[in-house]
Amino acid sequence: MTSSTLQQSDEMKSGVRLRAFLLRQEVVLFLMMMIAIFILTLGSDKFLTLDNLLNQGRFLTEIALVALPMTFIIITGGIDLSVGSIMGLCAIVLGYMWNPTGPFQWPLELAVAFSLLVGVLCGLVNGLIIVRIGVPPLITTLATLALYRGLAEGISQARSVRNYPEYFYELGQGTLLGVPTQLWMVLVFVIITAIILSRTIFGRSLYAIGNNELGARFSGIPVGLYTIMIYAFSGLMSGIAAWVFVSRVTTTRSDMGTGLELDAIAAVVLGGTSIFGGSGSIVGTVIGLVLIQLLKNGLALSGVTTDGTIVVIGTVLILAILINNYIQRRASAVE
Amino acid sequence: MNRKLLVALLLGVVMVLSFSLALPVAAQDRWDGADDLPVNPLDCPMAEGEAMPEATEEAPMDMPAYDGGQPTNAPDLAGQPIVLVDVPKLVGIGYFAATTLGQAQAAEELGNVTVTTDAPTEANIDDQIAVIDNYITQGVNGILFAANDPVAIAPVLTRALESGIHVVGYDANSEPGAREWFVNQAEFNGIGKAMVDSMVAEIGADGSFAIVTSTFTTPNQARWIAEMQAYQEKCYPELTWLETVEAQEDNVLSFNQATTLINKYGEELDGIFGMTSVATPAAAEAVVQAGLCAVDAANAAAGSPEAAVAVVGLATPNAMKPYVTGDNAGCVKSVVLWNPVDLGYAAVYVMRAVVDGTLKPGDATVEAGRLGTLSVVNGSEVLLGPPFIYTKDNIDGFDF
């Protein structure tokens, strides 16, 4: 008798575990993505082909690179609206420093490194204003969104820089082992950020900051330092996104990256990260990114025009968030 | 405290830096934006009594070699039905609605062409690339495009050519090697001349003017402004060029920028050029709301017509009718443009000719239905014709 109750409770336990797993936001979202893929495959026979899916990776890269640190930031209850402008500024700095007819004429590698440094600096300025002066992230980054874009336009003098050496295009247009080069980069960063967020004290502290900043402070978490670090990281990733983007489109323009912040935030929030902070995951963000990109691509291939596509994506965003909220509320009620 | 000071200092440095960077823009002497191509101003108007500038006829020059690209292994579809996709800079504005209309007219006349228009709702280079990429995957016979950036769009167009898809541009060019042909609506120097001559007709050869453009890097606008400047320096050196401001292709921003110009320069400002189909009506509206229409000013303070601000620009007729013949008739006297319906129409005919093999590299002319014979210029461009000036006498005959 004892053994049978034991077995029963074991079964119950695994049943509860399975249920809890199925109700996780990421899993719900993943199922939604599968449904979307199924429907989109019916729409066009060109959709579910390896070539097409890999090719979509190119379009997803810049948003993905920025969405990863954005996940960190939103988990702490913050937001970074300036990423698109930082990307524009870094792209311009890269081109300006390298430009063989410009004032500096640096080697390309040095120009890339310098533009990444500029990205980090932009992020640092964001972080410093937020932490040291205490301006809310929304206002700070809204201001620097304008400031960095203005700098980009000022430096570029409205001129674009073109004709990079052929090897430079390898990153944005080439392939490595049959996969678009930049996708490997995304993969590495996804793994790194996922490990940092879920397996390190730093990562777990971000959740603590998002849940209760004051509490985190009294628990001895260096809240200010961590906050500055994630905004600087966001700046760095925007710089890397600029590097990939310039390599992909073979030119620099000061309007590069406009609207990037909204695409990134949409993916993060669709991925189940709470905009109020305290919860979220990299896996969720990745699913959010892929789902949006597949919808854009699949709908276009099914013959839906671009204006129709954005209507559908907006609807899916709202639906996904509603369904997820409903399920999470039910789940927590059961517990 | 110390740290706050540091941050404040840092911000201050950034601001000073941005101002010092912003200043040279106003002092810049060339306005050719993204490229450093040479300018080629046309001849000045001949006699004094010539009110309306002559339509600019291009003298035939020795023809440069064909510099377009070619598709690889394109299927031979001569005379057979073809499916085209048209990717303008953006959808939802009157100008590209008019090119779409022209394409539909050509498709109907030809009978064996299907063309659909699809593009982002904002003039964004990356979105446009994604749209074209999707159509390559989907598989079409030909792509018509109007580039948001001549270089950024080149890799995806090259991919289209490599996939055996015919590529013809119109309105805004790409790098020549990334497409087969480009239908050029009007040569840049022709537009530059028509714009400046129309402005001088209103404000005199010693007036002051400002420009509202999209962005300094937008290829067409940048070239036009460069040609306008070259022509102005050559023919009307007494004209004063106050400022050029960016307003994207955004209605509200254009209105605000025009209003700012009016407030900033006051009586000094005699005229505003609108460089886009969005900026020109917005500038006209700003002038109306400031009470500075030529007609208002004459009524309010008879004898001081210099208080008025003239608006000359590129725009579609429907958007400008209120200021030319409608409620605020007389506020705007001349609107410079080509006919975008004809432009879209010609693009489809050129594409059909390419597919049928009747327009090959090295050819000097192409037949384009009701437009007759169009000539090839600059190696791989088909010229639509001289610019068209809409005035109160002819604007009501157009509906787009």
Q: Choose between A198 and B307: higher pLDDT.
A: A198
Q: At residue A310, does pLDDT exceed 90?
A: no
Residue range(s) in chain B whose domain bears CATH number 3.40.50.2300: 82-186+339-385, 188-337
Q: At residue A4, does pLDDT exceed 90?
A: no
Comparing CB atoms, the residue among A150, A251, A259 nearest residue B151 is A251
- The most distant pair of C-alpha atoms in chain B lies apart, rounded to whole Å, by 79
Q: Output the pLDDT for position B35.
A: 58
Average pLDDT (A151-166) is 84
Q: At residue B56, does pLDDT exceed 50?
A: no
Q: Output the pLDDT for position B18.
A: 57
Q: At residue B283, does pLDDT exceed 70?
A: yes
Q: At residue B53, does pLDDT exceed 50?
A: no
**B83 touching chain A per CB within 8 A:** no
Average pLDDT (B367-373) is 89
**B124 touching chain A per CB within 8 A:** yes
Average pLDDT (B114-138) is 89
CA dist., res. B285 & res. B328, Å (int): 9
Q: At residue B400, does pLDDT exceed 80?
A: no
**B33 vs A158: CB contact, 8 Å cut-off?**
yes
Comparing CB atoms, the residue among A125, A158, A306 nearest residue B121 is A306
Q: At residue A145, does pLDDT exceed 90?
A: yes
**Closest CA in chain A for residue B140:** A301
Q: Please report residues of B whose CB lies closer than 8 A to that of A249.
A: 125-126, 129, 149, 151-152, 155
CA distance A197 to chain B (A): 29
**B121 vs A253: CB contact, 8 Å cut-off?**
no
CA distance A307 to chain B (A): 6
Q: Choose between A221 and A317: higher pLDDT.
A: A221
Q: Output the pLDDT for position A76.
A: 95
CA distance A192 to chain B (A): 27
Q: Is B294 helix (H, G, I), strand (E, B) or coil?
A: helix
Q: Output the pLDDT for position B5.
A: 65
Decide: A254 and B156 in contact? Cβ < 8 Å: no
In words, the CATH class of domain B82-186+339-385 is alpha beta
**B155 vs A253: CB contact, 8 Å cut-off?**
no
CA distance B250 to chain A (A): 14
DSSP B215-242: -TT-HHHHHHHHHHHHHHHHH-TT-EEE
CATH number of B188-337: 3.40.50.2300
Q: At residue B305, does pLDDT exceed 80?
A: no
- Can you state the percent helix, strand and coil of chain A, rounding each to 5? 75, 0, 20
Give the residue among A252, A47, A227 at the shortest CA–CA distance from A131. A227
Q: Please report residues of B whose CB lies closer than 8 A to that of A253.
A: 34, 125, 149, 152, 217
**B120 touching chain A per CB within 8 A:** yes
Q: Choose between A192 and B55: higher pLDDT.
A: A192
For the ranges B119-128, B288-297, B379-388, the lowest mean pLDDT is seen at B288-297
> What pLDDT digit, counting tens, does each position of A252-287 carry?
888 888 889 999 999 999 898 888 888 899 999 999
Q: Output the pLDDT for position B160.
A: 94
CA distance A326 to chain B (A): 33
Sorting pLDDT into bands at 50, 70 and 90, what band is B72?
confident
Residue B45 DSSP label:
P
What percentage of chain A has pLDDT greater than the value 90? 54
Sorting pLDDT into bands at 50, 70 and 90, what band is A10?
low
**A46 vs B139: CB contact, 8 Å cut-off?**
yes
CA dist., res. B101 & res. B103, Å (int): 5
Q: Output the pLDDT for position B68.
A: 85
**B124 vs A259: CB contact, 8 Å cut-off?**
yes
CA distance B288 to chain A (A): 30
Q: Output the pLDDT for position B36.
A: 62
Average pLDDT (A211-219) is 92
Output the average pLDDT for chain A: 88
> What pLDDT digit, counting tens, does each position of A96-113 carry?
999 888 888 899 999 999
Average pLDDT (B333-349) is 90
CA dist., res. B32 & res. A159, Å (int): 9
Q: Output the pLDDT for position A15.
A: 67
What number of other Cβ atoms are within 10 A of residue A112's Cβ?
24
**B131 touching chain A per CB within 8 A:** yes
Output the average pLDDT for chain B: 83
Q: At residue B25, does pLDDT exceed 50?
A: no
Q: A187 — alpha (psi -120 to 50), left (phi > 0) or beta?
A: alpha
> What pLDDT digit, counting tens, does each position of B172-207 carry?
889 889 999 999 988 888 889 999 999 998 888 888
Angle, in degrees to the nearest 10, between helices A201-211 and A181-199:
70
Query: How many interchain CB pairs under 8 A, A with B?
Result: 121
Q: Please report residues of B whose CB lies closer than 8 A to that of A55.
A: 133, 137
Average pLDDT (A59-63) is 93
CA distance B118 to chain A (A): 6
Q: At residue A87, does pLDDT exceed 90?
A: yes
Q: Output the pLDDT for position B57.
A: 44
What number of other Cβ atoms are within 10 A of residue B192's Cβ?
28
Sorting pLDDT into bands at 50, 70 and 90, what band is A85?
very high
CA dist., res. A175 & res. A169, Å (int): 11
User: Which long-range contacts link A36-44 to residues 24+ away (Cβ below 8 Å)?
Assistant: A36/A291, A36/A294, A36/A295, A36/A298, A36/A316, A37/A294, A37/A298, A40/A294, A40/A295, A40/A298, A40/A299, A40/A301, A40/A302, A41/A298, A43/A298, A43/A299, A43/A301, A43/A302, A43/A303, A44/A298, A44/A301, A44/A302, A44/A303, A44/B138
Q: Please report residues of A whose CB lies closer than 8 A to that of B155.
A: 169, 173, 248-250
Sorting pLDDT into bands at 50, 70 and 90, what band is B55?
very low
Sorting pLDDT into bands at 50, 70 and 90, what band is B319?
confident
Q: At residue B22, does pLDDT exceed 60?
A: no
Sorting pLDDT into bands at 50, 70 and 90, what band is B170?
very high
Q: At residue B59, does pLDDT exceed 90?
A: no
Angle, in degrees to the nearest 10, between helices A260-270 and A83-98:
130
Average pLDDT (B391-399) is 83
**Closest CA in chain A for residue B130:** A59
Tokens 């597919």 sit at which residue?
Answer: B355
**B13 touching chain A per CB within 8 A:** no
**B215 touching chain A per CB within 8 A:** yes
- List CB contacts of A240: < 8 A, sequence separation 6 or more: A65, A116, A119, A185
Sorting pLDDT into bands at 50, 70 and 90, what band is B45?
confident
Q: Output the pLDDT for position B23.
A: 47
Amino acid, res. B290: A
Q: Output the pLDDT for position A44.
A: 84
What percentage of chain B has pLDDT greater than the value 90? 32
Q: Please report residues of B whose CB lies closer than 8 A to that of A166.
A: none
